[in-house]
Structure 1
Amino acid sequence: MVGETPATVMQVPETTAPVVVIAHGFAGSRQLMHPYQLTLARAGYITVSYDLQGHGRNPVPMSGDVNSIDGTTRLLMEEIGRVTDAALALPGADGRVALLGHSMASDIIVRQALADDRVAAVVAISLFSEAVTAAEPENMLVINGAWEGALRAEAQRIMAEVGAAEGDTAGTPGEGFARRAVAAPMVEHVGVLYSATGMRESREWLNATFGRDYRSGIANIGGPILLTLLGVVLLGLPLANMLPEGPRLPEVPKGAFLALALAPAVLTPLILSLVETRFLPVLVADYLALHLAVYGSLVLAGLAVEGDLPKLRGWPAGILLAGFALIAFGGVLDRYVASFFPHAGRLPILAAILPGAVLAMVADAALLQAGHARIWRRWVARLAFLTSLGIAVALDFERLFFLIIILPVIGLFYLSFGVIGGWVGRRTGSALAMGLGLGIVLAWALAVTFPLFTGTT
């Protein structure tokens, strides 16, 4: 702990070496940076990753004005400064330091490098920062995913200012000004964090900066993590088949289905645009809690009119579904991917999101016959819900822009928990079992993803 900031130290035992302080991006946590951290620790560096304010298991919310450099940005710079102080005080630290950051943190590390003379090098992953000039930071490596179009174009512009192209090196690291930009092949904004190319480039850049030749293997752990998560999902099938078998739910008539899939998707953001939705100290989670509740209520009300309201049976299977998903799948996520087990300060957020998430997931399960619906119906229902969130963002872009960050969360949710939930629903024939389990998991995932925030948006 650095004050109230949780941190992870990785280093070769009894080593003496420069320090690398590693910062994650928006809505991330230190686990996301562990591939880079492990690679650099294996190469002999003393590495420190940490949960930024409002993220992961850091109990201190982000605060200040997010639109002002002297607001939230300044507070996050002060935090990385404290972490740097603590890292340089670790046994074996030789007084030299580099900063590595992803996405939002790329701006933080660039600005901190300009303010802190101790910083000898910057490794900016998925860089976007207005503080970068043709002369500063003095020693910087930029890494983007090849599929990060806009960010990659910005890196190419930055290199053009110093008369170089992507893939070239301007200057010599460790001998004054040096700059390089590379594109990691076949990855995007998250995949770049598991890129062997990016990890190798960062190791070589720091080796050149600090005059070190020590090398070891790249922590190419993305594939094994995916296989482990896939194994957990597949384990859900034999476990679901151990549940009592129930009848197949009848299909909702096509016209009623389309009306119930589309009308609530349009009406929900329109209704919520007329009311105040700020009541939680978390970016847009309060709005999302209400969106889920209103959407689910409208669908369930329509199903009641049709006579297809789900029966109150099967809830124990739903609890078992949630328990398996949270403990088995969530345990792997928390250890290897991103923070998934919340600190006490996030429990009120979970409680606020939970009712709406359960309503929405029970409604979704009932509309889709507890997983038995035809594929086109599943696509229509899920796309309609995502479109509903898109309409909400369009109606209040400045405030609800951050809803966009939940798209990867929802994608992972349907590819993992949703598959397991479908097996449970089809086995039990209970929309309540499927919806209750998935609602608990969805509320949990959202409560641990959104950054805690108290300030001006």
Structure 2
Amino acid sequence: MAALLAATLAGLALCVAGIWRLEAERTGVTMTPLKAGTTPVTIYRRDGAAPAPVVVIAHGFAGSRQFMEAYALTLAQAGYVAVAFDFEGHGRNPSPMSGDVTRVDGTTRKLMSEVGRVTDAALSLPGTDGRVALLGHSMASDIIVRQALADPRISATVAISMFSEAVSASTPRNLLIITGEWETALRRDALRNLRLADPAAREGDTVDDPAGNGGRRAVVAPGVEHVSVLYSTTALREARDWLDRVFGRTSSGPVAATGGAIALLLAGIVLLAWPLAGLLPRGDAPPPAIPLRSLAIATLVPAVVTPIVLRFVETRFLPVLVADYLAAHLLVYGALSLSLLRLRGVRFGRVAWVSALALAAYGIIVFGGALDRYVASFMPIAARLPIIAAIAVGAVPAMLADSIANQGGHAALWRTVWIRAAFLASLGGAVALDFKRLFFLLIIIPVIVLFFTVFGLIGGCVGRRTGSPMADGIGLGLILAWSLGVSFPMFLPG
């Protein structure tokens, strides 16, 4: 009882501390919704700020406006008019991505046009001084570099985790390239692009163009990778200071490094799952450990067979990039694993429906609500609901198999690692067999690892309380379907 009380108090304290810090970063900033055509936009502006340059902020693949909020708040607090938006197919944008993703004159060109529309809408707002810069992460870095080349109004470009073949020795003008310390390949590319302007330049140097086309700088944010670079104090300060340099402004004070506060809030929600699970009906004794031979068969066979079988099956049935394949992969993998577990004499037990739905609600509404406000879009528009339902057809069997093999959270840690590593290996095998079509899965695999880590802990609390792997599996399957359904970009080729 004392441990549960301590967990409750600690979880509440973490949540309160996280929310307090996150809301404090918004103090004095007005966030105004706007539409640029069908594109949803949020305007971040410091209360009482004088007319200032616009900074259009673009997220990466499978991201959304919320993902870039640390930059939006930092720049708004510095007096800029920060304009964040959801690309087509992402977040709450109802228009799907379209075109050929492998061609510059395909999807890239369409997304450049969208940046142009957002720029036009932003510059028409009162309180702007007619100057504009672009800032983008990952996928968007190439989009904004190319748009800066095409649009003479763009005075500066901040490219985070950049990969683009459009950079030349002098264009785009006033280019800042930011990479995380652990983004080894992108760091090399950033240095290569810096040395187009000055072959002797090193990371951290600023190179001025003698022809008057501005400057160029490549900096490294210490101790971060492709996602955490978005919350790096160094990266945020460099972006702000670079824009100040270009626009002749001076800003000071702290930046909105919200990553730590987000971690506090989400850790608190995960920790609270333990005492809250104690409110659920207590179930039967935990299921017995599955014999090692049976566990090996039920995990390794699906891991090998699933990508091979699906290599010869047409899986394009959803208007989303690779999520249709992932739904099919989950279904085949889960069905095979469940069948093999049953053939090996493993009992599945009863379904505790109240517990299953409680787990799903906690993951989607509580954890997901926090994500939606502070991290990334998690509440779907109507067009995504059928996608979530279709993915659930595969996600629920896969998570049922995972939970049964894990004994509803009672399995030893090495067994859990084995079970989930086998599934991830099967996704890796699928990419290897059809890299051209499924290479986007490589971006999603870290997200699935995070899902197993975070929601696996929450589901384990429910499974251990109820003694029902079925409840754990159904709840996790619904959460996984929801998470994938709101994250994958909606896409219509052509």
Aligned-pair CA distance for 1:86: 0.6
1:357 maps to what in 2? Answer: 395
Matching of residues 21-420 of structure 1 within 5 Å: 21-163=56-198, 164-171=201-208, 176-246=213-283, 247-420=285-458
Distance 2:401 2:213 in 1: 61
Aligned-pair CA distance for 1:176: 3.5
2:489 maps to what in 1? Answer: 451
- Give the SS at the match of 1:180: strand
1:2 maps to what in 2? Answer: 36
Say if 2:89 and 2:491, in contact at 8 Å, map to a contact too. yes
Q: CA offsets, 1:400-435, max 9 Å, x none?
A: 111112122212212211101001001111011100
Say if 1:5 and 1:53, in contact at 8 Å, map to a contact too. yes
2:466 maps to what in 1? Answer: 428
2:16 maps to what in 1? Answer: none
Distance 1:104 1:174 in 2: 30
Aligned-pair CA distance for 1:312: 3.2
306-315 or 253-262, larger mean C-alpha shift: 306-315
Going from structure 1 to structure 2, the CA distance change for 1:174 and 1:342 (only over 3 Å counts) comes to: farther
Q: How many residues align?
A: 456
Q: CA offsets, 1:77-99, max 9 Å, x none?
A: 11000000010011111100000
What is the TM-score when the length of structure 2 is the normalising length? 0.90
Going from structure 1 to structure 2, the CA distance change for 1:175 and 1:219 (only over 3 Å counts) comes to: farther
- Give the SS at the match of 2:36: coil
What is the TM-score when the length of structure 1 is the normalising length? 0.98
Say if 2:330 and 2:394, in contact at 8 Å, map to a contact too. yes
Structure 2 unaligned blocks of 5 or more: 1-34
- Give the SS at the match of 1:387: helix
Aligned-pair CA distance for 1:156: 0.7
Q: Which amino acid aligns with 1:434?
A: D
Q: Which amino acid aligns with 2:296?
A: L
Distance 1:349 1:5 in 2: 20
Q: Which amino acid aligns with 1:219?
A: A
Structure 1 unaligned blocks of 5 or more: none
Aligned-pair CA distance for 1:309: 3.6
- Give the SS at the match of 2:175: strand
Aligned-pair CA distance for 1:270: 1.2
Aligned-pair CA distance for 1:161: 2.0
Distance 2:393 2:378 in 1: 20
Distance 2:378 2:147 in 1: 29
Aligned-pair CA distance for 1:216: 3.3
Distance 1:173 1:314 in 2: 71
Distance 2:48 2:289 in 1: 65
Q: CA offsets, 1:342-395, max 9 Å, x none?
A: 111111110110021110111111111111111111111000000000111111
Say if 2:44 and 2:72, in contact at 8 Å, map to a contact too. yes
Say if 1:325 and 1:417, in contact at 8 Å, map to a contact too. yes
Q: Which amino acid aligns with 1:95?
A: G
Aligned-pair CA distance for 1:266: 0.7
Say if 1:22 and 1:48, in contact at 8 Å, map to a contact too. yes
Distance 1:240 1:33 in 2: 33
Distance 1:24 1:208 in 2: 23
- Give the SS at the match of 1:101: strand
Q: CA offsets, 1:135-185, max 9 Å, x none?
A: 111210100001100110001111122222110000179964200000000
Distance 1:179 1:305 in 2: 63
Aligned-pair CA distance for 1:339: 0.6
Q: Which amino acid aligns with 1:404?
A: L
Distance 1:385 1:186 in 2: 29
Distance 1:320 1:156 in 2: 50
Distance 2:233 2:212 in 1: 26
Aligned-pair CA distance for 1:303: 1.6
Q: Which amino acid aligns with 1:125?
A: I
Q: CA offsets, 1:5-47, max 9 Å, x none?
A: 0111101134310100000001111111100110000000001
- Give the SS at the match of 2:439: helix
Q: Which amino acid aligns with 2:180?
A: G
Say if 2:60 and 2:140, in contact at 8 Å, map to a contact too. yes
Q: Which amino acid aligns with 2:45?
A: Q
- Give the SS at the match of 1:134: coil
Going from structure 1 to structure 2, the CA distance change for 1:337 and 1:130 (only over 3 Å counts) comes to: same
Say if 1:252 and 1:367, in contact at 8 Å, map to a contact too. yes
